Amino acid sequence: MKSVLLIGMGRFGHHLCKNLVDLGNEVMIIDNDEKSVEDLAPVVTSVLIGDCTNPEVLKSIGVRNYDICFVCIGSNFQSSLEITSLLKDLGAKYVVSKASRDIHAKFLLRNGADEVIYPDKDIAEKTAKRFSANNVFDYIELTHDYSVYEIPPLAKWAGKTILESNIRPKYNISILGVKHPDGNVTMLPSADYMIDKSDHLMVLGSSANIEKLLKLL
């Protein structure tokens, strides 16, 4: 469990807050619009209505006490920049700021953000990857070069073990898990696991190698 400060309760802030609370974290939320926090007040640790571009507002809550501070203001970049800088000046341990453009990210990092996130860009990239290729059920980018894809097995793999299919030596990918039709998942299947045609394979590999494999499906 972590202590989290969340500034800016727009759509992304709302979703992030609900997920952080569901995971057992202590969350304080701040927004300058009372209506934006009404629905979350019963589930968070504390709520503050105020303008975080005012240094006195942030000083009053002791930002040093939070494990992570999220700046989720997407519509006003100047405010996001000021708040990010103020948080770091006041001793915040770790600041994560939301950006919508690469140029914004550069300025946020220069002004104190420890990490910048692009929720809209990330979702757009994931959606494009998933729907541009046939037979991709899900996709997670781990690094710029490596990703995890959820895909069906090649027809020739069905009825064979992972070892017999020669998957890693031939295709340079690793099977991290197998999702079955009933929703159950076998993590890190052994080499003698028998592949079924109805399985969904969660494979890890370089983007280049996985894209070659996708062309065979």
Same domain, 70 and 139: no
* Residue 192: CATH number of its domain: 3.30.70.1450
CB 29 within 8 A of CB 13: yes
Q: Which of 23-37, 39-53, 111-125 has the lowest mean pLDDT?
A: 111-125
Same domain, 10 and 89: yes
Q: Which of 74-83, 91-100, 145-154, 191-200 has the lowest mean pLDDT?
A: 74-83
User: In the chain, what percentage of residues exceed pLDDT 70?
Assistant: 100
Q: What is the DSSP string of 72-97?
A: ---S-HHHHHHHHHHHHHTT-S-EEE
Domain-terminating residue out of 86, 117, 148? 117
Residue 44 has pLDDT above 80, yes or no: yes
**At residue 34, what is the residue type?**
E
Instruction: Select from 199, 148, 194 the least CA-distant residue to 174.
Output: 148
User: Using one digit for the tens of pLDDT, what is the confidence trace for 177-198?
Assistant: 999 999 899 999 999 999 999 9
Q: The whole model's pTM is what?
A: 0.71
Main-chain phi, psi angles of 110, to 5 degrees: -70, -25
